[in-house]
Chains A and B, each alone.
Chain A
Amino acid sequence: MLRERYLNLIILAILVIIPLWAWVSDEPFTITLVTRAVILALAGVGLNLALGQGGLVSFGHAAYFGIGGYAMGILASHAQNYDPIIEVPFLIEGTNSMPIIWLVAVIAGALSALVIGALSLRTTGVYFIMVTLAFGQMLYYFAISWPAYGGEDGLSIYVRNQFPGVNTLDPMQFFVVCFVILCVVLFLVDRINKSPFGLALDGAHQQEERVQTVGINVYRLRLVAFVISGAITALAGALFADLNRFVSPVMFSWHFSGEIIVFIILGGVARLFGPVVGACLFILLEHILGDLSDYWHIYLGAILLFVVLFAKGGILGFLSKKEVPHAG
């Protein structure tokens, strides 16, 4: 069977070849579809750090996705209307520069993950699942009832934000931006997983007492992982908002929190490329089954049920036939 590292390279190659082929044959829709998959994969990579490596089943990661989305929406809408965000005590203006928006999204995602994580990590197991779900829902209702930025209707941004030297409105160029970010994040997450921090996090997942005994503060360890995880997912949210040029409370919905977990499970828990494969498969299923039937969620549900009950390890587990020590 294939070594997982080669498998991962093949996956990246496929992710480049499909849009290239679509670019040559002039099918911008396909490029946008792959871009969507790449962005959702990024959200999944974020969650996988907490869920796969750390064993923290967060059912509220839509919160950070939504926060990233609104970071983009708020900054860009102020820039679009030429009206500053705050004037006193000092002037803060909106912006349509992607790097600044990403930075703000990452910081906002990290801060909210710090607060939510600090509270949620006081609990474990089922409590943790329910509490993260509840906090996600809290932000969802807040976004709906706060009228300043569109409330339930959301916010439209008419022009995609700028990245120096790139025409972001061109689907192929925007894809490249997203793809490079995914690769950088995958590289960083891989480094984190192999660092002493990542090993301790994995150890705490398997045997909490042992990690505690060697003098590591497990609570702090998990909180840091949760914050990094939230920040990555927020970055994905900002990109997703830019892809659609639209943000709405739907980005916060619990349904999306469930879907990110689904990406990870379809691809393979605690595997670096698990969420990438899962997100691509999800988009593919959505596209194919959605064409066949309006009720495609039934088939998605059936496939998911099958994978959970009978095919642990997901697609990558099936293809590489090698157990990850910390899966499950």
Chain B
Amino acid sequence: MSVILLIEQVLNGLQFGVMLFLMAAGLTLIFGVMGLINLAHGSLYMVGAFAAAAVAGWTGSFLLALAASLAAAAAFGALIELTVIRRLYARDHLDQVLATFALILIFSEATRWTFGSFPLFLDTPDWLSGTVMLPGGIEYSLYRLTIIGIGLVVAVALFLLISKTRVGMRIRAGENDREMIGALGVDISILYTLVFALGAALAGLSGALVGAIQSVEVGMGEPVLILAFVVIVIGGIGSIKGALFGAILVGLTDTLGRTLLPVLFGTFMEASSATTIGSALASMLIYILMAGVLVFRPTGLFGSA
């Protein structure tokens, strides 16, 4: 295996990782502030992708499509927060799981009803297609590089939002003691809606960005949702830093495992069974990683208590 191919795979892993971060950041924020486990986060990812594909189809503009994904996911996020989610904050996790599972069923079928069962396609715009030459003579897809850039910018922006602004201060205060900040005159319900919509918008953006690489279809959100759960378990619930670290770790492990394991097994077995065993093991690798983290740190790498 050449070094260039390896670097390419590392970049692919990073790209996968930052996408997972956009999902995991919203989930971990919502759990940290409201104590809610939201299975419907994957549906918001799907909503973002479908909104982007529809708007790109009408206008032909990729930037408008991205804006639409943010707006649609945030709007649907706020809508379900106001109608359903806010009744669940005081409930136990089982109720939250079931109610948001019900939301998945509703969202998926409503999307199938609106757009049909066939996948939609969202094309990357001309000015982002093609490849760029990186130092060292590595050719890499411009679009994937842009995704990595967007993901890192969002990570920095989120960090600044939470650590430097007044809203961020309230979010942190809400994580620590929600009764106290209510007593200090902060309107908690508006804050909750805001945090939920923010998380939803990040999921929607991530759906739209990935939608241009893969196809846009019903049920695209759930596999990513479960991976985002793995990320959060590894990183520690409620920690944005943990989400970033966990996401990149999972992205790299998965991508590199799929490339390297079959090659590794190929060094001491025959080619066909090496591919079989290697790829079967690679599909389980991130869960094995998760199990490993659980054995040593049951609350995740950056989790407290």
Q: What is A's interface to B at a CB cutoff of 8 Å?
A: 51, 57, 59, 119-120, 122-123, 125-127, 129-131, 133-135, 137-138, 141-142, 144-147, 254-255, 258, 261-262, 265, 269, 295-298, 300-302, 304-305, 308-309, 312, 328
Contacts and interface: CB of A to CB of B under 8 A. Distances in A.
B125 to A, nearest CB: 33
Q: Is the interface of A mostly helix, strand, loop or mixed?
A: helix
Nearest to A131: B233
A25 B280 CA distance: 49
A312 B88 CA distance: 13
A123 B182 CA distance: 30
B287 A138 contact: yes
B110 interface: yes
A57 B93 contact: yes
Contacts of B295: 119, 122
A254 B298 contact: no
B279 A135 contact: no
B260 to A, nearest CB: 16
Interface string B77-112: 000000010010000111101110111111011101
A308 B223 CA distance: 24
Q: Is the interface of B mostly helix, strand, loop or mixed?
A: helix
Nearest to A144: B283
Interface of B: 31, 37, 84, 87, 92-95, 97-99, 101-106, 108-110, 112-113, 222-223, 226, 229-230, 232-233, 237, 276, 279-280, 282-284, 287-288, 290-291, 294-295, 298-300
Given A261-B97, A328-B92, A298 B283 contact: no
Given A141-B284, A305-B99, A119 B294 contact: yes
22 contacts: A122-B295, A123-B294, A127-B298, A130-B37, A130-B233, A135-B287, A135-B291, A141-B284, A142-B284, A145-B282, A261-B94, A262-B98, A262-B101, A300-B105, A301-B102, A301-B104, A304-B102, A308-B95, A308-B99, A308-B102, A328-B94, A328-B95
A76 B291 CA distance: 32
Given A134-B233, A297-B109, A59 B284 contact: no
A302 to B, nearest CB: 7
A62 to B, nearest CB: 12
Given A57-B93, A122-B298, A129-B97, A295 B113 contact: yes
B93 A301 contact: no
Contacts of B299: 123, 127
B226 A134 contact: yes
A134 B113 contact: no
B287 A134 contact: yes
Q: Lowest 6 A-B CB distances belong to which pairs?
A: A301-B105, A138-B287, A301-B106, A304-B102, A130-B229, A141-B283
